[in-house]
Amino acid sequence: MLGAAATPSSTTGARVRLEVGDRLGGGAGFASGLTSTLLAGTPWSAEKEGALSTEAGPQPARGDTGISAAAVLSRLRSAGVLPVVELPSPDVAVPLAETLRGAGLEVIEFTFRTDGAAEAIAAVRRACPDVLVGAGTVLTLAQLEAAIDSGARFIASPGFSPLIVERSLAAQVLPLPGVCTPTEILMALEAGLEALKFFPAEQAGGVAYLRSLAGPFRTTRFVPTGGISAANLGDYLAVPSVLACGGTWFVLKELLAAGDFATVARLASEAVRVVKEVRGDARG
Ligand code: 3PG
């Protein structure tokens, strides 16, 4: 079950906003903490990085450990790069998370493109509690439920589903829906969100498109994903609205299937170095 608010009735962003505001006190507060943090322009460096359970806020639902939306986004911002993982096998999850952590990356997204994503999320939550783990390619309510039950701390989707957003908020798990147009961004803003995945980033217009969105959408933060690589990572990170860049280029399924963690570690370390170069060593 997804909680008392899981009534499949809303189909528009405005409807979601009203329902979230009216019915989901905890969920609305969960999102609005993020909104107020971003609107207030609080320096990210002032955030409690790694504050997984110490932030004030609503009590966690369904066994989550109480990380706030602001803390999740702070962790993403701090990492600068979000590994988007399609696992060849759930067994790879923990060694991969450990490899990435060794390279300086303590965030990971397991996509529901393969069976075993939920198992992988739960395994990494258990084995690497300091790693921020989320679910990706969440397309259905069944996948959402599995992701939440496994302990995912954010829910990434390639597109904007008002229902997935609403139910994620109801469970106090951060939704990171994909957007590609100003209309979709407006829908997400109406649902109370201020941080969104921008997908497919490179194919949709890349850095120039992202910069143009900053005109009207001044406080919205983005996680561009799709077509990002070592070659353009720095250009994306230099865009002020970019929270973190998602991608598969350093966690390719082929590398994972071959057990080539040395290459993963090398590519991940290079990505971390670019983050430091572009944002400064303090990653602020
Ligand atoms: C995603 O699922 O977020 C993207 O497909 C990742 O895109 P990439 O493989 O181009 O990094």
Tell me the pLDDT of the chain averaged across its residues.
82
The reported pLDDT for the residue numbered 18 is 29
Looking at ligand 1, which residue's alpha carbon is closest to its atom 9? 248
Question: What residues flank ligand 1, with Cβ below 6 Å?
Answer: 84, 111, 136-137, 199, 225-228, 246-249
Tokens of 246: 């998602």
What is the DSSP code string of 62-94?
TT-----HHHHHHHHHHH-EEEEE--S-GGGHH
Distance of CA 25 from the midpoint of ligand 1 (Å): 34
The reported pLDDT for the residue numbered 65 is 52
Quick one: which atom of ligand 1 is closest to the CA of 156?
A: 3
Q: Which residues are catalytic?
A: 109, 197
Quick one: which atom of ligand 1 is closest to the CA of 227?
A: 10
Report how far residue 13's alpha carbon sits from residue 33's, in angstroms, rounded to the nearest whole number: 19
Distance of CA 227 from the midpoint of ligand 1 (Å): 7
pLDDT (tens digit per residue) in 101-132: 999 999 999 999 998 999 999 999 999 999 99
Domain extents in the chain:
13-279
Distance of CA 214 from the midpoint of ligand 1 (Å): 22
Report how far residue 259's alpha carbon sits from residue 263's, in angstroms, rounded to the nearest whole number: 9
Q: What global pTM score does this model have? A: 0.81
Using the predicted structure, report yes or no on whether residue 41 has a pLDDT greater than 60: no
pLDDT (tens digit per residue) in 75-108: 999 999 999 999 999 999 999 999 999 999 999 9
> Could you name the CATH architecture of 13-279?
Alpha-Beta Barrel (3.20)
